[in-house]
Chain A
Amino acid sequence: MNIMDKINREQCKQDVPSFGIGDTVKVYTKIIDGTNERIQMFSGVVIARKGGGIQETFTVRRVSFGEGVERVFPINSPRIDRIEVIRYGKVRRSKLYYLRDKIGKASKVKERRVVSAS
Chain B
Amino acid sequence: MKGLIGKKLGMTQVYSEQGILTPVTVIEAGPCVVVDVKTAEKDGYSALQLGYGRRKAKNVSKPVMGHFKRSGLENNPPAIVREFRLAEDPQAELGSEIKAEVFDGTEYLDITGITKGRGFQGVVKRWNFRGGRYSHGGGWKRKPGSIGCREWPAHVIKGKKLPGQMGNVQRTIQNLKLVQLRAEENLLFVKGAIPGPTGGIIMIKSARKKGN
Task: Report A's interface with B, CB cutoff 8 A.
Answer: 3-4, 7-8, 11, 30, 32, 54-55, 74, 76-79
Contact = CB atoms under 8 A, between A and B. Distances in A.
B19 A4 contact: no
| Shortest beta-carbon contacts, A-B, top 8 | A79-B19, A78-B19, A4-B10, A78-B15, A77-B19, A8-B12, A3-B9, A4-B9
Interface residues of B, number: 14
Contact of A55 (B13, B26, B187): B13
Contacts of A8: 12
Contacts, number: 30
B19 A7 contact: no
A3 B12 contact: no
25 contacts: A3-B9, A3-B26, A3-B28, A3-B185, A4-B9, A4-B12, A4-B26, A7-B12, A7-B14, A7-B187, A8-B12, A11-B15, A32-B18, A54-B12, A54-B13, A55-B13, A74-B21, A76-B15, A77-B15, A77-B19, A77-B21, A78-B15, A78-B17, A78-B19, A79-B19
Q: Chain B contact residues: over half helix, strand or loop, or mixed?
A: strand
A11 to B, nearest CB: 7
B208 to A, nearest CB: 29
Interface in B57-89: none
Contacts of A78: 15, 17, 19
